Structure 1
Amino acid sequence: MAATAVRQAIPADASAIAAIYAHHVRHGTASFDTVPRSLVETEGGIAESSARGWPFLVAEQDGQVMGYAYATQFRDRPAYGSTCENSIYVHPDRQSQGIGKALLGALLGQAQAAGFRQMIAVIGGGEPASVALHARLGFQHAGRMQSVGRKFGRWLDTIYMQIALGAGDSAPPLKEPQ
């Protein structure tokens, strides 16, 4: 198996990222989207993350993007400014090969460096592999919302998991909300 390199996403990665996400939208329940994001929307997400100083990472093997992960502010309100939500998607042919773990591990460090103090995983469909991945890296169960999504003719739960970053809530954030 080729070595996995994790790096910041660049605009040229948008096509591969969009293709990975499209597969998960069309065939899985991790995303509650029913229509994949366009290339332009994906490029916009990379650009916005970069402009805000938030991590948007890709995992690469032999020059090919095999997965991606990013962190964005959990909610738009200023008081949530120190809390981020993560998103991680891996190419369907490369799942269960350590790519998600490499991405999430790097994302934790980069989200902390960006000033976040808490990371929330919102796991659509209660995906067991995603729950297990997050638990392996120290996330704790924070709640379950039952039957809040409907996709492929069935009701889906959402599981929340959480981990403190850096000083967590033991010290004030780097920047107070306005």
Structure 2
Amino acid sequence: MDPIYEKGQGAAVALAEAATVRPARSGDLDAILAIRNDAIENSTALWTDTLQTPAEGAAWLAAFLDKGAAFVAEHAGEIVGFGVYAPWRTLEGFRHSAENSVYVRTDRHGLGVGSALLDVLITSARAAGYHVMIADIESGNAASIRLHERFGFQDVGTVREVGIKFGRWLDLTIMRLAL
């Protein structure tokens, strides 16, 4: 049985009405892929126009599962969000810095799901020995910026016009949390 994380026990999850967070499993791929591909199609959260195939999604997810760095949020028996963390950069000098990604199904925005996931990601990355967590956020994503600020992330800068999607240039806000 997978552990269920509860607020106040060091690895959290959410308000009971929002979701319960647990480690992701390979069987969660379809729900994760649906959320991920929706973000690709309809938002600037992921800077790609190419939807992820089931085979690509399985390989992508497996890399996180092998490290225990993927979590899902469930509500009423459905996956309503997912979060992952990974090394921020591949060079060994960055080995103690992780980057997080949190995605919530659009019909569950604003209900605490993102908070539940981010809380668990921070706790898990800290337990895994990371020293800093980075969030690279499209600068227009005010909800994600506010979410990270609530957890103590500090804005360390914005890189202007480094991405493009939907025919417009995108700025990248970089946020940092010491773990």
TM-score (normalizing by structure 2): 0.87
Q: CA deviation at 1:6?
A: 0.2
Aligned 1:36-47 pairs, distance under 5 A: 36-47=51-62
Cα deviation, residue 153, structure 1: 1.5
Mind listing any 5+ residue stretches in structure 1 that lack a counterpart? Answer: 166-178
1:117–1:63 Cα change, 3 Å: same
Do the aligned residues in 2 keep the contact of 1:54 with 1:71 (CA within 8 Å)?
Answer: no
Residue in 1 that maps onto 2:32: 17
Matches within 5 A, 1:5-154: 5-51=20-66, 53-154=67-168
Range with greater deviation from structure 2 (35-44 or 155-164): 35-44
C-alpha distance in 2 between matches for 1:31 and 1:82:
24
Q: Give the drift of 1:125.
A: 4.3
SS in 2 for 1:36: coil
In the TM superposition, residue 126 of structure 1 has moved relative to its aligned partner by 3.4
Quick check: 1:54–1:114 contact (8 Å CA) kept in 2? no
Shift of 1:3: 4.9
Q: Secondary structure at the match of 2:143?
A: helix
Supply the distance in 2 between the matched residues of 1:95 and 1:85 (Cα, whole angstroms): 21
- How many residue pairs get aligned? The number is 164
Structure 2 residue runs without a partner (length 5+): 1-15
Higher mean alpha-carbon deviation, 123-132 vs 39-48, is at: 39-48
Q: Report runs of 4+ in structure 1 exceeding 6 Å deviation.
A: none
Report the alpha carbon displacement of residue 55 of structure 1 after superposing the two structures with TM: 1.5
CA contact (8 A) 2:97 2:132 kept: yes
What is the RMSD of the two structures over their aligned residues, measured on CA atoms?
1.3
Check whether the contact 2:23–2:68 (CA below 8 A) recurs between aligned residues.
Answer: no
Identity of aligned pairs, percent?
38
CA offset digits 1:63-83 (Å, max 9, x no partner)? 111000000000111111110
Please say if residues 54 and 111 of structure 1, whose CA atoms lie closer than 8 Å, have aligned partners that are also in contact. Answer: no
